[in-house]
Amino acid sequence: MTVAVAVLALFALVAACASAVYLADDLTRCRRRRVQGAPADLGLRYEEAQFLTADRLTLRGWFLESPGARAAVVLVHDLEATRTDVDRGLLTLARDYVRRGYSVFTFDLRGHGESGGTRDTLGRDEKLDVAAAVACVRRRSPGVPVILHGFGFGAAVALAAAANRAEVTAVVADSAFPTMREYLHRRWRWLPPPALTLVGRIARRLYGADIDALEPVTIVNRVSVPVLYVHNQGDPMLPPSSTLNLAAASLDARDRVWIAPGTGHATAYREAPDAYVRRMVEFFDEVIPTRVLAARAV
């Protein structure tokens, strides 16, 4: 009987470890989606962009120029999305920005769309992608203010990049989460916290991912530029308190919070595009130095 119990216990242990390895693989496996559409579909002129990250990975994107641009907006998509993210309407958002005098740089994070990479690192290395995108825009348009505008995971990574002193004028964080670990707890509600910790350790050892590398709530107080926090009131994935907690942790009086009346996750623009863009432009007008606007007008 004792031998049988020991065998069953060993079998259960092996099964648990195998399940953890499977989940670690699933957690970090890139789920590429095709880049759907192009700016030309909306009558926009654009340039193909290819640039390198600090760890020598090749990323791809588009630069859409608005003549005499007031600023350049770098769009950072969510997980399992691309630079044209249909669910969030990124292509039409880019069009709306260009029409209002803002250039746009939109690109695929590593492991997404047409960019290089084979694994998600859960924010550890994606911060390098955002920093490289900002540097690319600054080389392309020197002297033009750069604004980061991220969605979901992209918003969290944008905040982390800004905290690491990416040269930007402001950040829009749409539906960010306080920590990657908390986000994963909500995404995998059925998985007990100790099991997630085990999965995270395996993901770090086997795939170089780190579920504790992206913790915006601990670093937003190091973001030295104004942030507009956006969140849908009826977000089914993350409650508005996620964004409110980030804003409270930043301790920056220049920050702004907009709890939109929408019901989807990071879909405030798609649900009410005119109101959304109006909020963005009002914020940009507030944070872009007037001397820069005057210089661009000359």
pLDDT at position 117 is 93
Flag whether pLDDT at 145 surpasses 90.
yes
Count the Cβ atoms, other than its own, within 10 Å of residue 7: 10
Does residue 17 fall inside a structural domain?
Answer: no
Question: What local confidence, expressed as pLDDT, does residue 271 receive?
Answer: 97
**Residue 293, in any domain of the structure:** yes
Q: What pLDDT was estimated at residue 7? A: 47
Confidence at residue 88, expressed as pLDDT on a 0 to 100 scale: 95
Is 141 part of a structural domain of the chain? Answer: yes
Within 8 A by CB and 6+ apart from 7, the residues are none
DSSP state, 257?
E
- 98 vs 95: CA distance, rounded Å: 5
CATH number at 234 reads 3.40.50.1820
Dist CA 152 CA 110 (whole Å): 16
- Would you say the pTM of this structure is higher than 0.75? yes
> 11 lies in a domain?
no
The least confident of 4-18, 107-121, 275-289 is: 4-18
Q: With 0-12 CB in 10 A as exposed, 13-18 as middle and 19+ as buried, what is 8?
A: exposed
Question: Is 221 inside a domain boundary?
Answer: yes
How many beta carbons lie within 10 A of that of residue 31, not counting itself?
11
What is the pLDDT confidence band of residue 1, given thresholds at 50, 70 and 90?
A: low
Average pLDDT score over residue span 244-271: 95
Q: Side chain identity at 292, as an amino acid letter?
A: V
Which helix (H) or strand (E) covers residue 270, if one does?
helix 268-271
Q: What integer best gives the mean pLDDT of the chain? A: 91
Q: Is 219 helix (H, G, I), strand (E, B) or coil?
A: helix
- Look up residue 209 and give its two tokens: 């991912």
Looking at the chain, the whole-number percentage of residues with pLDDT higher than 70 is 92
- 70 located within any domain: yes
Say whether 212 sits in a helix, a strand or coil: coil
Least confident interval from 25-29, 58-62, 165-169, 279-283: 25-29
pLDDT the model gives residue 13: 46
Give the range of the structural domain holding residue 261, as residue numbers without chain letter: 39-192+213-297
Number of structural domains found in the chain: 1
- Residue 232: which residues within 8 A CB-CB, separation 6 or more? 175, 240, 259, 260, 261, 262, 263, 264, 265, 266, 267, 268, 271
The reported pLDDT for the residue numbered 4 is 59
pLDDT score at 10: 44
61 falls within a domain: yes
Is the residue at 77 inside a domain? Answer: yes
For residue 19, name the pLDDT band (cuts at 50, 70, 90): confident
What is the model's pLDDT at position 190? 84
